Structure 1
Amino acid sequence: MNERNYIGQRLSALVGLDLSGVSYAADMLTLQFGPIREAPSRRGTIRHIGLWALHVQCHWRFEKDGRVLASYANFAISEDSIRETTQRMSEWIISSGPTRVESVAVDERADMALSLSRGFRLIVVPDCVEGDEDWRFFAPGTNGPHLVIEGGKIEPSSLS
């Protein structure tokens, strides 16, 4: 199996969808794609989820026209910096008009780039530390399979 093609094929579900939510959990960037809907959490609260979610726990950077606007380094500073960074990203991406996924590129190391409308781009670069989850792609609110990249490779349970 060609991992690069498999990852690209799975992520191709994002093409044509809007990046509709930006948030965080601890130092993990969480992104929602497609229409936002309400769904109950395990604790009984209401959460807002998209058709697809991308959770990033490795190096990433968010660019506009080749200029870095935000990165994982902003998440390494403090809780306030994380909150401010996700708020700014949300303003750039969501409040300023729709931002659609135009294309997905993946290389042999599971580096991933989402080219977005309006000149935006998200680049995700796995840390490649064995046993550490780099990023995860899934349909929230469903029992569907998760695509998990761990240590720069597809985590084997993602293939079942």
Structure 2
Amino acid sequence: MINNQREIEQRLSVLKGLEWSGVSRAADMLTLGFGPKREEKNFYGVPKQVSAWALHIQCAWTLSETGKTIATEKSLAGSDEEVNAFVMSLQQLLAQRAPIVVEGISANSECCLFISLSKAFRLIVATNGAADDEDWRFFESKRTARHFVIEGGKIDPWSLS
């Protein structure tokens, strides 16, 4: 039997000591980048900067600073204009407070994720447990990298093969 907590903490331990280096979104999915950035071309051949590691979140999440909530998944609801403005403000906050470094990773048996960051930032990712719904995924930002996927509050077995 898989120990979800141990597996998650082990997989994401590579983030410890790395800088939180990117934030974006795709529809209502929060995308975070960690570690040094490098240039890569997108599907159209246009150069873009990508962080070494990516965390894509499609479930409930809360970002707090000194214990005060500054953003949640509801921040990605609304018109494109509103959501884009929110993402831009989060990017500005990240730039103003940089460097923000991953200090700790912890998880629980329900595959919820807790990331402690420097400067009193904390990210909590709470799975929804709905079968066939992807909660979050973590991967190295390389086209051939294997993704570690949490779906329905469980580790997708494909992630372990």
2:36 alignment partner, SS class: coil
C-alpha distance in structure 2 between counterparts of 1:109 and 1:134, whole Å: 11
1:70 alignment partner, SS class: strand
TM-score (norm 2): 0.94
- Which residue in the other structure is 1:16 paired with? 17
1:105 partner letter: S
- Aligned-residue sequence identity (percent) comes to 42
Q: Is the 8 A contact 2:4 2:108 kept in 1?
A: no
Q: Map 1:1-150 onto structure 2 (within 5 A).
A: 1-150=2-151
C-alpha distance in structure 1 between counterparts of 2:30 and 2:114, whole Å: 15
C-alpha distance in structure 2 between counterparts of 1:72 and 1:78, whole Å: 14
Q: Is the 8 A contact 1:58 1:135 kept in 2?
A: yes
Q: Is the 8 A contact 1:63 1:69 kept in 2?
A: yes
2:6 alignment partner, SS class: helix
Q: Is the 8 A contact 1:19 1:34 kept in 2?
A: yes
2:83 partner letter: I
1:48 alignment partner, SS class: strand
- TM-fit CA distance, 1:123: 0.8
Superimposed CA distance per residue, residues 5-62 of structure 1 (whole angstroms, 9 cap, x where no aligned partner):
0011001111100000011111110111011111112232222111100001111111
2:119 alignment partner, SS class: helix
C-alpha distance in structure 2 between counterparts of 1:144 and 1:74, whole Å: 29
1:68 partner letter: T
2:140 partner letter: A
Superimposed CA distance per residue, residues 64-106 of structure 1 (whole angstroms, 9 cap, x where no aligned partner):
0110001101112222222122112212223332000000110
- TM-fit CA distance, 1:142: 4.0
Q: How many pairs were matched up?
A: 160
Q: Is the 8 A contact 1:58 1:124 kept in 2?
A: yes
C-alpha distance in structure 2 between counterparts of 1:135 and 1:81, whole Å: 23
C-alpha distance in structure 2 between counterparts of 1:153 and 1:146, whole Å: 14
TM-score (norm 1): 0.95
Structure 1 residues not aligned, in runs of 5+:
none
Q: Is the 8 A contact 1:19 1:94 kept in 2?
A: no
